[in-house]
Amino acid sequence: MPELPEVETIARQLRERGVEGREILALRIDWPRMVEPLTPAAFSNALCGTKINTVSRTGKWIQIQLSSGQHWMVHLRMAGSFSKRRSKFDRAEVLLSGGMKLYFRDTRKFGRWKLVDDPQEILGQLGPDALSKHFTGTYLEQQLTHRKRAIKPLLLDQSLIAGIGNIYADEALWATSIHPQRCSSSLTPEERKALYRAIRHVLRIGVQNRGTSLGKGQTNYRDMNGESGSHRKRVKAYGRKGLPCERCGTPLIKIVVVQRGTTLCPTCQVR
């Protein structure tokens, strides 16, 4: 679930709740694989007694800078989220100074926590963050023209652009009427520019709406307050199979591209 806008929402809410400046007093980890190769005890020992300096986000990673000089890196993967409320799907519990508790909820147990001395160990493997100033139209153009790859998997490749996931890839491609299997080098200059603008636009709107979630239930994205994002109402392609395209009225179809469900308009988005 969480892509850039959802991860950004969680990072912001951690800051808004005021976790920065607090000391980590206790930490319980109930799902050991989450912190491999460290053990839960080793991870907990390294964090307890340190203070949280800052919380930030790059791509789909949350970066928590600690007073020890180390960085607590969190990837939510498919279903992770921090929450201020306890739930039966919590995999970890953090006690902060001032009596604040944080719960790490993760139904599918795919979330990962890492402890690193230098965040570049992780972030260095990523392309520029899709909403940062380092992701420019020129950069995207280079990536598209220098490769012969289907456009959708290229957009999902975190080593090229960090933060785009399945929902926002489908949204950006629908917005620009580009078929997800088009070869990246076949895009016209106009299409490349439009795609750049669409990527930035759908992600910004996603952030403004505090993320996207679909359906109900525990596998869905929830923010720290347990609320689903309101971006769902604005989604034009993802999850709208069979519903009319908002441009031409043709029912949207769903295909599989690199093993990912992909929704598109068969009329507007031609190969």
Q: How far is the CB of 185 from DNA (least distance, A)?
A: 11
Q: ω into residue 37 within 30 of 0, thus cis? A: yes
Kindly name the residue from 5, 40, 57, 60 that is annotated as catalytic: 60
Packing angle, helices 189-208 and 166-175, rounded to 10: 130
Residue with tokens 């080793």: 42
Tell me how far the alpha carbon of residue 208 is from its chain's centroid: 14
Q: Which is nearer to DNA, 96 or 104 (CB)?
A: 104
Render the burial of 5-40: b for 16+ CB within 10 Å, e for the rest: bbbbbbbbbbeebebeebebbebebeeeebbeebeb
In the three-class reduction of DSSP (H, G, I as helix; E, B as strand; rest coil), residue 146 is classed as coil
**At closest approach, how far in Å is the CB of 84 from DNA?**
20
Tell me the window of 19-27, 134-142, 153-161, 192-200 that interacts with DNA (CB under 7 A). 153-161
Q: What is the distance between the alpha carbons of residues 62 and 118, in angstroms, rounded to a whole number?
A: 14
166 is a contact residue toward DNA (CB under 7 A) = yes
* Distance (Å, whole) CA 253 – CA 27: 46
191: annotated active-site residue? no
Q: Which amino acid is at 220?
A: N
Q: Is 89 in the site for DNA (CB under 7 A)?
A: yes
The torsion angle over the Cα atoms of residues 173, 196, 182 and 123, rounded to 10 degrees, is -100
Active site residue 60: yes
Would you count residue 2 as binding DNA (CB under 7 A)? yes
Residue 2 annotated as catalytic = yes
**Candidate residues 25, 48, 78, 253; the one interacting with DNA per rule CB under 7 A:** 78
User: Per-residue x/- mask for DNA, residues 191 to 230, rule CB under 7 A?
Assistant: ---------------------xxxxxxxxxx---------
Q: Which stretch binds DNA (CB under 7 A): 49-57, 104-112, 128-136, 195-203?
A: 104-112
The DSSP H or E segment spanning 169 is helix 166-175
d(CA 9, CA 221): 11
Interaction with DNA in 36-75: which residues (CB under 7 A)? 59-60, 75
Whats the size of the chain, residue-wise? 271
Residue from the set 149, 152, 182, 192 that interacts with DNA by CB under 7 A: 149
Question: Among residues 12, 51, 77, 197, which is the contact residue for DNA, using CB under 7 A?
Answer: 77
| Count of residues touching DNA (by CB under 7 A) | 40
Q: Mark the segment that binds DNA (CB under 7 A) among 16-24, 48-56, 197-205, 253-261.
A: 253-261
Closest of 79, 72, 68 to residue 14, by C-alpha: 72
Give the residues lining the site for DNA (CB under 7 A): 1-3, 33, 59-60, 75, 77-79, 88-89, 107-110, 149-150, 153, 156, 158, 165-167, 212-221, 232, 254, 258-261
What are the residue numbers of the active site?
Answer: 2-3, 60, 260
